[in-house]
Amino acid sequence: MFAFRDAHRRVDVAFTDRHRDLGAGPSASLGPADTSLDLAGPADRCAEDLRLVADALARGHADRDDPSALSVRTPPPHLATMHQVHGATVAVVDQPALGRHEAPVADALVTSLPGVALLVRVADCVPVLLADATAGVVAAVHAGRPGLVAGVVPEAVRVMRARGATSIRAWVGPHVCGSCYEVPESMREEVAAAVRQAWAETSWGTPSVDIGAGVRAQLRQHDVHPVVDVQRCTLEDPDLYSYRRQGNDAGRLGGLVWIRP
Ligand SMILES: [Zn+2]
């Protein structure tokens, strides 16, 4: 279920993979056809998968700095979602129980509410999770190629600071890497004109864009640190979803961040 988990104080972060299996988790009783986890599939199925993820988050896990901190079970978080459109709009979540139909059109969510998990969905784009655990402000950001150019990550940082965040750290989730993300030369130039660190070459020597490098540069420029990069490429890793590898068959991975109650 989880490609990566981490925590900082009461802030809990996770990136999902494409499997429902948690080891000895709830998927044990499911048939082979029901083992994939897709956080943007058909509505009923998606709701079920979101519930599984919320339950898994509630179960907690050990914080490597303080093993006792997050091992206690809590009520499952409310999941806050958004309709992602490759823009730079940031939505603030200030009510705990927004339904799926009320999800804002945005590419970043920010909240200060404990017990609300912000969800970003991706299949090659970069999911970025941000937190100031002391101020109690977190964000989930969808940064694809257009979002990188539009500056959705700096915009999310700006909104967090306006809400009291001072010391922000980040987690950069699985995405298509610069060695795999081939684009036309003109597109590479266009992206590099906005964020020069995104200029890249594929492993076979053709033009590419490194969205992750571009996002990390934007985080540095806006004084966000430390930055944890999970360093998994969606196109190369069969345990992850990749739009480039699977086309319309690709499901969606999730990046989740929440302040545990
Ligand atoms: Zn790659």
Domain ranges of the chain: 2-259
Task: Measure 180 CA to ligand 1 centroid, in angstroms.
Answer: 4
Task: Measure 237 CA to ligand 1 centroid, in angstroms.
Answer: 8
Tell me which CATH homologous superfamily contains domain 2-259. CNF1/YfiH-like putative cysteine hydrolases (3.60.140.10)
Task: Measure 57 CA to ligand 1 centroid, in angstroms.
Answer: 28
State mean pLDDT over 65-76: 66
Instruction: Give me the percent of the chain exceeding a pLDDT of 90.
Output: 79
For residue 26, what pLDDT is reported? 46
Compare 43 and 67 and report the one with higher pLDDT: 43
On whether the pTM is more than 0.85, the answer is yes
State mean pLDDT over 145-166: 98
95 pLDDT band (50/70/90 cuts)?
A: confident
Task: Measure 93 CA to ligand 1 centroid, in angstroms.
Answer: 33
pLDDT digits (tens, 9 = 90+) for 222-232: 999 999 999 99
Instruction: Using alpha carbons, list the distances in angstroms from residue 5 to 15, 17, 172, 193, 257.
Output: 7, 11, 12, 34, 10
pLDDT digits (tens, 9 = 90+) for 202-246: 999 999 999 999 999 999 999 999 999 999 999 999 999 999 999
Residue 121 one-letter amino acid: R
State mean pLDDT over 58-80: 71
Task: Measure 21 CA to ligand 1 centroid, in angstroms.
Answer: 24
Task: Measure 236 CA to ligand 1 centroid, in angstroms.
Answer: 5
Task: Measure 234 CA to ligand 1 centroid, in angstroms.
Answer: 7
For residue 34, what pLDDT is reported? 64
Q: Is the pLDDT of residue 247 over 80?
A: yes
Q: Provide the 10 A C-beta neighbour count for residue 86.
A: 16
User: What are the phi and psi torsion angles at 244 (to 5°)?
Assistant: -65, -35
pLDDT digits (tens, 9 = 90+) for 123-132: 999 999 999 9
The pair of structure tokens assigned to 204 is 């076979």
For residue 21, what pLDDT is reported? 79
Average pLDDT in the chain: 90
Compare 72 and 104 and report the one with higher pLDDT: 104
